[in-house]
Amino acid sequence: MNKDVGNLQSFRKSIKLVDATLRDGGIVNSFYFPEGFAKALYKANLEAGVDIMEFGYKVSKKLFDVNKFGEWKFCDEENIRAVVGENRTDMKIAVMSDVGRVDLKTEVIPKKDSVIDIFRIAAYCHQVPAAIEMVEFCHKMGYFTTCNIMAISKNQESDLIRALEILAQSPVDVIYIVDSFGSLYPEEIRRICDMYGEVAYKYNKQLGIHAHNNQQLAFANTIEACAKGVDYLDATVCGMGRGAGNCYLEAMLGFLKNPKYRMEPVLKFVREHMTPLKASGVVWGYDVPYLLTGLNNVHPYNAIDFIKAGRDDYENFIQEILAVD
Amino acid sequence: MNKDVGNLQSFRKSIKLVDATLRDGGIVNSFYFPEGFAKALYKANLEAGVDIMEFGYKVSKKLFDVNKFGEWKFCDEENIRAVVGENRTDMKIAVMSDVGRVDLKTEVIPKKDSVIDIFRIAAYCHQVPAAIEMVEFCHKMGYFTTCNIMAISKNQESDLIRALEILAQSPVDVIYIVDSFGSLYPEEIRRICDMYGEVAYKYNKQLGIHAHNNQQLAFANTIEACAKGVDYLDATVCGMGRGAGNCYLEAMLGFLKNPKYRMEPVLKFVREHMTPLKASGVVWGYDVPYLLTGLNNVHPYNAIDFIKAGRDDYENFIQEILAVD
C-alpha cells in the first residue's frame, strides 16, 4: 500500500461511488423496471453526488432475446440518451459487458459518438486474456475501462496473481475485486486488497470493489476495502441485486465523508420508487438460503430457486448445495 | 493484546456463543412469546452447541407491571425451571438486570438454589459504580457475572477507560462492549477492543460483544471483535432484537469453526418458530430509519416510533433526530 488512505474523520477525493442499481438490480426483474424509474434514479444519483451510474449490460441481441428482457439488458445508445440527454453533468455513465457476450466490432460505437463513458468488462479469472482483448478494444474506442474479475473466492491466489499481473499491464483503468458469492469475510477482503494493491499500484491502476450481501457483509466489506485504499465502490439502492443483493447505496452515502455526497435524494427515491417496486413483488435481499450459499462459497442460483419454490427445508438445502459444488 | 486469537481456519476454545433471543428479542414483543417457543429454543440451542442462553430480564415487579409483560421480563425461577428442569447440560443460563431495576436482596436467591448461572448487569458508563455493587452482590451469591456497559458510542474514551479501570478490579468475570445504537464501524470496534483489552487482560477479565444491526454491521462487528480476542459473542435467532436487531445466531454458527457448533437445529427453529412469529406481525430488522439513527448515533426509539406510525418521510426524520439529540 503506497497511498494515503485517510481515516474515518477525513475523506479522499479519489473515491468514486458507483450506483449499479439498474444493472445488478436488473438481474432480479429481468431489467423490467417501471416507466420513469431510470430517469428518477438518474436524477437522484445526480443530486446525491454519485460519481458513476451503471445503466445495465451491453450484450449482443444475437445471444439474448430482446423480448425476454427489459431495455437495460442491452443499453442501446438511444435508450440511455432518452434518460440522460447529452449527460452534461459530472456523473459518468457506465455499462457492463461479460466476456464473449457482445460483438464489439458491430455493437460498440466510438466514445465520441456515445454518451457512455465507461465499459466494465466482467470476466472469470481464466477469461482475463479475453477480457484484456475487450479492454484494449474499448480503450482504443476512447472509453474508460474496468475489469471485474468475478467469483474470486473460487480461485487459487497464485492463479489470481498471475491474471492480475497481465491485466495490470493492459490499458485497463480499474481492477475490481468481486465477491460474487458473498462468501468473503472482512479479514479476507483486507488480505485481498493487499494482494490486488501490490500488483495494481505497481502499474498505476486503481482498484474497485463489488460486494454481495449473502452474509450481511456487503457494506462492511466495502468500507473495509475503502479503508485499504480501494477507490471504486459499488452499491445499489436498497441493496437491490441478484439474490441477497449488494451494498446499500444509502449506507455508503451516509458513511462517506466527502460533503458532496447527499443522502436525502436517494431516500426520496427509496420512498417513491423502491418501496412500490418491493410492494409489486420484486424480491431480493438477505435470507437464510443466501447465508448458506455464501457460507459454503457456491453460486446463489440454487438459493434463488429454493426461495422461488417456496421451500424452507434448509437442512436438505445444505446437503443439496454441498452435493452440486 | 496478549492472547492467541487463532485465525479463520482455526478455532479457540475460549469462545462462548450467547443466544440472547428471549431477552433482546423480547423487547420487540413485550416478552409475549408463543406457547412452547422458549422450550423449543432451549432445545435448539442445546443441539446447536450454544454456550449460554439468556432467558430474559430479571427486573423488580415493583417497578414493572406483570400484566404488561410476558414472563421473560421477570425470569421467575419456576418459569425457567419449567423450560430447563435442573438444566443438567453444558449450556449455562443467563439473565440480565439493569442497574437499579431489581431489588437484589429480596429478588435474587443464592446460586445454589437457582438454575440461573450468570447475571449480566447492564449499565451506562456513569452507572458503573452502581453496577459494581450489583456485581459484588451477585458474585457473593455464587453467580458468574458480566457487566455490559451500554451506549458507549456516546461516551468519551477517557471516561470509559476510568470506568473500565474500576470495573476490572471488581469480581466481574466478563466486560461487554455494547454498541447500543448500531453506530460503530468495524474500524472503531477494533480500536475499542484494543482499549478494553488493555484494561481487562491486565486484571484477567474476559471480553464480550453485543452488536446491533442498524447499519447492517452487527455480524461484521462481532466477528471482527472475535478476531481481536473477544470471547463472549452475543447473537439472536434471525437477529431478533430491538429495532434493527442483533447479530444473527445462524450466521455465527456458520462462521465459528469449533466443530461442536451445529447450524441445523437453529435453522429448524427458524422454520418452525421464527417464520410463524414474523408472519404473526412481530417486526424487527434493518430498515432505513435504523440506518439513520445508527449513522447519527442516537437511540433507535425514534425510529421504532417512525416505523410504527407508518411514516416514510425520511428527510424530515433526519431533521427530527438531529433536533432531539
Q: Find residue A96's DSSP bridge partners.
A: A57, A120
Q: For position B325, what pLDDT does the model report? A: 63
Is B2's pLDDT higher than 60?
Answer: no
Cβ distance B223 to A185 less than 8 Å, yes or no, reads yes
Question: How many Cβ contacts (< 8 angstroms) between chains A and B?
Answer: 101
Angle between helices B186-200 and B218-227 (to 10 degrees): 40
B106 contact partners, CB below 8 Å, separation of at least 6 = none
Mean pLDDT, range A166-195, rounded to an integer: 97
3-state percent breakdown (helix, strand, coil) of chain A, nearest 5? 45, 15, 40
The count of residues in chain B is 325
- Note the pLDDT of residue B5: 80
Q: What is the predicted pLDDT for the residue at B105?
A: 87
**Measured CA angle at A304 (ends B292, A157), to 5 deg:** 80
Contact A271 B312 (CB under 8 A): yes
Of A213, A215, A227, the CB nearest to B187: A227
**pLDDT at position A70, please?**
98
Contact A8 B187 (CB under 8 A): yes
Would you state the cell numbers that stand for residue A83, as one nine-digit string?
Answer: 434518460
With vertex at residue A169, the alpha carbon angle to CA A163 and CA A171, rounded to the nearest 5 degrees, is 115
Q: Is the pLDDT of residue B1 over 60?
A: no
pLDDT over 90 percentage in chain A: 93
Tally Cβ neighbours within 10 Å of residue B258. 14
Coil, strand or helix: which one is A113? Answer: helix
pLDDT reading at B37 higher than 90 = yes
The answer to whether residue B298 scores a pLDDT higher than 60 is yes
Query: Where are the extended beta strands (E) located within B33-156?
Result: 52-57, 92-98, 118-124, 144-150
Q: Are B173 and B146 in contact (CB under 8 A)?
A: yes
Chain A, nearest residue to B312 by Cα = A271
Count of other CB atoms within 10 angstroms of residue A113:
10
- In the predicted structure, residue B225 carries a pLDDT above the cut 60: yes
Q: From the list B185, B186, B216, which residue is nearest A216 (CB)?
A: B216
Smallest Cβ distance to B220: which of A220, A268, A318? A220
What's the sign of the alpha-carbon dihedral B280, B285, B291, B294? positive
Q: Does residue B238 contact residue B266 with C-beta atoms inside 8 Å?
A: no
CA distance A129 to chain B (A): 32
The whole-angstrom separation of Cα B10 and Cα B29 is 38
pLDDT in tens, B39-69: 999 999 999 999 999 999 999 999 999 999 9
Q: What angle do CA B22, B26, B29 make, to 5 degrees?
A: 140
For residue B9, with 0-12 CB atoms within 10 Å meaning exposed, 13-18 middle and 19 or more buried, which class applies? exposed
Residues A174 and A92: beta-carbon distance below 8 Å? no
Give the pLDDT confidence of A104-160 residue by residue, as tens digits: 888 899 999 999 999 999 999 999 999 999 999 999 999 999 999 999 999 999 999
pLDDT tens, position by position, A234-278: 999 999 999 999 999 999 999 999 999 999 999 999 999 999 999
- CB distance B251–A215 less than 8 Å? yes
Q: Average pLDDT, stretch B236-253?
A: 98
Contact A56, A23 (CB under 8 A): yes
Residues of A with a Cβ under 8 Å from any B Cβ are: 8, 185-188, 213, 215-221, 223-224, 227, 248, 250-251, 254-255, 263-264, 267-268, 270-271, 275, 288, 291-292, 295, 312-315, 318
pLDDT score at B7 = 82
Tens digits of per-residue pLDDT, A149-162?
Answer: 999 999 999 999 99
Residue B104 to chain A, least CA–CA distance (Å): 40
The predicted model gives B196-203 an average pLDDT of 97
Chain B hits for A314, CB-CB cut-off 8 Å, are 264, 267-268, 270-271
All three cell numbers of B230, joined, read 473477544
Minimal CA separation from A9 to chain B, in Å: 11
Please, where are the H alpha helices in chain A?
Answer: 21-26, 37-48, 77-84, 104-107, 128-140, 157-168, 186-200, 218-227, 249-255, 264-269, 275-279, 288-295, 301-308, 314-324
Burial, B110: exposed, middle or buried (Cβ in 10 Å; 0-12, 13-18, 19+)?
exposed
- The answer to whether the Cβ–Cβ distance between B250 and A220 falls below 8 Å is no
Distance, CA of B237 to CA of B250 (rounded, Å): 7
Collapsing DSSP to helix, strand or coil, B122 comes out as: strand
Whether A211 has a pLDDT exceeding 80, the answer reads yes
What is the reported pLDDT for B149? Answer: 97
CA A263 from centre of chain: 20
- Residues on chain B touching A263 (C-beta within 8 angstroms): 318
Chain A residues with beta carbon closer than 8 angstroms to that of B318: 263-264
CA distances from B34 to B26, B241, B277 (A): 11, 16, 8
Using a CB-CB cut-off of 8 Å, the residues of chain B touching A267 are 288, 314-315
Compute the mean pLDDT over every residue in chain B, rounded to the nearest whole number. Answer: 96
Among B288, B306, B317, the strongest candidate for a mutation testing the A interface, having the largest count of A CBs within 10 A, is B288
Determine contact, residues B252/B222, Cβ cutoff 8 Å.
Answer: yes
A296 pLDDT higher than 80: yes
Task: Please provide the DSSP assignment of A13-66 as one string.
Answer: TT-EEEE-HHHHHHTTTTT-PPTTHHHHHHHHHHHHT-SEEEEEE---TTTS-T
% chain A with pLDDT above 70: 99
Please tell me the distance in Å from B224's CA to the nearest CA on chain A.
Answer: 8
Residue A325 confidence (pLDDT) above 70: no
> How many whole angstroms from its chain centre is CA B229?
18
pLDDT of A2 higher than 70: no
pLDDT at A3 over 80: no
Residue of A nearest to B293 (CA): A254
Average pLDDT over residues B28-42: 98
Which amino acid is located at A298 in the chain?
V
Instruction: Measure the CA–CA gap between A205 and A184, rounded to whole angstroms.
Output: 23
Question: Which pLDDT value is given to residue B9?
Answer: 83
Comparing CB atoms, the residue among A216, A224, A291 nearest residue B186 is A224
Residues of chain B with Cβ-Cβ distance to A8 below 8 Å are 185, 187-188
Question: Measuring CA to CA, which residue among A252, A217, A216 is closest to residue A232?
Answer: A252
B45 near B91, Cβ under 8 Å?
Answer: yes
Mean of per-residue pLDDT scores for chain A = 96
- Mark yes or no for CB contact B251/A291 under 8 Å: yes
**Residue B62, beta-bridge partner list:** none
pLDDT at B46: 98
